[in-house]
Amino acid sequence: MTTDIRPDTLETPAPDADSGLANRAGIAGAVAAAVALGVGELPSALAGEATSLVSVVGSRFIDSFAASLKDIAIALFGTNDKIALIVGIVIVGVLAGYLLGRLALRSFPLASLGFLAFGGLGLWAGISDPQASAGGTVAGVVVGVGAGLITLAVLLRIARGLPVLPDLDAELTNGAPATTELRPADDPRVRTPDRRAFLTTSGAVLAGAGAAAVLSRRVRSSTVVETARAEIELPTASTVAPPVENAFELPGLTPAITPNEDFYRIDTALVIPQVDVSNWSLTINGAVDRELTFTYDDLLARDLVEVPVTIACVSNEVGGGLVGTAVWQGIPLTELLDEAGVQAAGTQIMGRSVDGFTAGFPTELAYDGRTALLAVGMNGEPLPARSGFPARLIISGIYGYVSATKWLSEIRLTDWETDFGYWIPRGWAKEGPIKVTSRIDVPRQRESVRAGTVPIGGIAFAPNRGIAAVDVRVDGGEWMPAELGESTNDDLWVQWRVDWAAEPGQHVLESRATTKDGDVQLEARSPVAPDGATGFHRVLVDVLEGA
Residues 89-101 pLDDT 10s: 788 889 999 999 9
- Range from 233-237, 267-271, 495-499, 503-507 carrying the lowest mean pLDDT: 267-271
Count of residues in the chain: 547
457: confidence class by pLDDT, cuts 50, 70, 90: very high
Decide: pTM greater than 0.85: no
Question: Torsion over CA of 225, 226, 228 and 232, rounded to 10 degrees?
Answer: 130
Residue 382 pLDDT > 60: yes
Cα(376)–Cα(388) distance, rounded to whole angstroms?
9
Residue 487 has pLDDT above 80, yes or no: yes
- Express as a percent the part of the chain with pLDDT over 90: 63
Residue 32's SS3 state is: helix
Average pLDDT value over all residues in the chain: 86
pLDDT over threshold 50, residue 181: no
Do residues 477 and 235 touch, judged by C-beta distance below 8 A? no
Residue 14 has pLDDT above 50, yes or no: no
Find out whether 69 and 85 touch, Cβ atoms under 8 Å: no
Report the half-sphere exposure of 159 (CA within 13 A, side-chain side).
27
What pLDDT is attached to residue 123?
Answer: 80
CATH of domain 437-544: 2.60.40.650
**Stretch 126-149: mean pLDDT, rounded?**
78
Q: Which residues of 19-56 are buried (b: 16+ CB within 10 A; e: fewer)?
A: eebeebbbbbbbbbbbbbbbbbbbbbbeeebbbbbbbb
In the β-sheet with 348-353, what is the strand arrangement from edge to edge?
A: 292-295, 281-286, 408-414, 348-353, 358-362
Which regions of 183-312 does DSSP assign to beta strands (E)? 281-286, 292-295, 305-312
CA distances from 526 to 318, 356, 473, 522 (A): 9, 30, 21, 9
437-544 matches 260-426 in CATH topology: no
For every residue of 139-198, DSSP letters joined together read HHHHHHHHHHHHHHHHHHHHHHT--SS--HHHHHHH-PPP--S---TT-TTPPPP-HHHH
- Model pLDDT, residue 76: 64
d(CA 492, CA 324): 9
pLDDT-above-70 percentage for the chain: 82
At 496, which helix (H) or strand (E)?
Answer: strand 494-502
Q: What is the mean pLDDT of residues 455-476?
A: 97
Q: What is the reported pLDDT for 38? A: 84
| 5: pLDDT strictly greater than 50 | no
Question: Helix or strand or coil: residue 310?
Answer: strand
* Helix (H) or strand (E) segment spanning residue 84: helix 81-104
The pLDDT, as a whole number, for residue 11 is 44
SS (H, E, C) 412-463: EEECCCCCCCCCHHHCCCCCCECCCEEEEEECCCCCEEECEEEEEEEEEECC
Enumerate the domain spans of the chain: 7-221, 260-426, 437-544
pLDDT at 211: 87
3-state SS assignment for residue 364:
helix
Confidence bin at 224 (pLDDT 50/70/90): low
Q: How many CA atoms lie within 13 A of 265 on its CB side?
A: 20
Q: Side chain identity at 163, as an amino acid letter? A: P
Q: Tell me, what's the pLDDT at 1?
A: 40
Q: Please report how the helices 108-127 and 53-77 are oriented relative to each other, as an axis angle in degrees rounded to 10.
A: 80
Q: Is 292 helix (H, G, I), strand (E, B) or coil?
A: strand
Does residue 176 register a pLDDT over 80? no
pLDDT bin (cut points 50, 70, 90) of residue 489 is: very high
Handedness of CA 360, 363, 368, 369 (dihedral sign): positive
- Residue 244: which pLDDT band, with cuts at 50, 70 and 90? very high
pLDDT for position 77: 65
Confidence of residue 7 (pLDDT cuts 50, 70, 90): very low
Q: Would you say residue 189 has pLDDT above 60?
A: no
Span 402-450, pLDDT tens digits = 999 999 999 999 999 999 999 999 899 999 999 999 999 999 999 999 9
pLDDT of residue 172: 41
Average pLDDT over every residue of 233-253: 93
How many Å apart are CA 158 and CA 140, to the nearest integer?
Answer: 27
Measured distance CA(124)–CA(121) in Å, rounded: 5
Region 378-386 average pLDDT? 96
**CATH number among 2.160.10.10, 3.90.420.10, 3.40.640.10, 3.40.50.720, domain 260-426:** 3.90.420.10
**How confident is residue 47, by pLDDT bands cut at 50, 70 and 90?**
low
Phi, psi of 415 (to 5 degrees): -90, 130
Residue 136 has pLDDT above 80, yes or no: no
**For residue 28, which of 189, 138, 167, 193 has the smallest C-alpha distance?**
193
More confident residue, 91 or 333: 333
